[in-house]
Amino acid sequence: MPSELKSTTTDMSRRNARHVGITLLGLAGALIVVALAGLFMAVPFIVRRDVPPGSTVQLGDLLTVSDVVTRPDGTYLLTLHFTDTGGSAIDPKLLQVALTMDGHPMSPTPVPLERTATGAYRAQGQLTMTGRWRFGVKSERGTMDVVADYARSFQ
């Protein structure tokens, strides 16, 4: 094989290999960027939204006011109020509440809700021990955790 043809073939092979390497590097970089963007977009769904009692929170397109009152004997009163962006009371199509306790691997306990008016709900019950409790509120527009710290009174 003539030396001119041999060197041209070798140069083309090097260029093709370099082109393939650069293309693969670019694809790997694009894949990393897409994975990071997906991770950052998923953060609101991964991270719990802790809501202190008495707070107003945007839950999808609803404005939610929640409150939890705990008494020294462990009874609680949870209230939830939902309004649309115009301030009108509205009932979510799906509304579920479940009670869990931080640091205890117990199954969530469903909390029965009583509808007191359009967009207004109430739940009453008994906390079984002292600690940090979570009322997991789930609607078709999002989820949030209303937290309550219960410390028994020793008076």
Q: Is CATH 3.40.190.10 the classification given to domain 50-150? A: no
Where in the chain are the domains? 1-47, 50-150
CA torsion sign for 68, 142, 136, 97 is positive
- Residue pair 121/95 in contact by the 8 Å Cβ criterion: yes
* 4 pLDDT above the threshold of 70: no
Mean pLDDT throughout 31-36?
72
For residue 35, the model assigns a pLDDT of: 66
pLDDT, tens digit (0-9, with 9 covering 90-100), for 67-90: 998 888 889 999 999 999 888 999
pLDDT band at 114 (very low <50, low <70, confident <90, very high): very high
Mean pLDDT in the chain? Answer: 81
- Residue pair 124/77 in contact by the 8 Å Cβ criterion: yes
Structure tokens at 62: 């609803």
Helices (H), 47-115: none
pLDDT band at 122 (very low <50, low <70, confident <90, very high): very high
